[in-house]
Amino acid sequence: MDPAGAPPLPVLALFVAIPAAVVVGVVIALVQRVREIERGEEDDARNY
């Protein structure tokens, strides 16, 4: 790989950081949803 043709480090960091932030957010949401299901909160919607 030719380092002269590589993108600048800040651009490369941005290309890595944005998808990483999305993945972290999805994992956090998944963990929260699993905890809700374990507590039985999906049944609470039947009350409305």
**Cα 18 to Cα 11: distance, rounded to the nearest angstrom:** 11
Which one, of 16, 23, 22, lies nearest residue 7 by Cα? 16
Q: What is the per-residue pLDDT for 11?
A: 92
Q: What is the per-residue pLDDT for 45?
A: 66
Q: How far is CA 46 from CA 15, 39, 43, in A?
A: 43, 15, 6
Q: How far is CA 3 from CA 8, 16, 19, 47, in A?
A: 10, 18, 23, 61
pTM score above 0.75: no
Q: What is the per-residue pLDDT for 47?
A: 65
- Please write the tens of the pLDDT for every residue from 1-48: 567 788 899 999 999 999 999 999 999 999 999 998 888 766 666 666
Q: What is the per-residue pLDDT for 30?
A: 97
Q: What is the per-residue pLDDT for 6?
A: 83
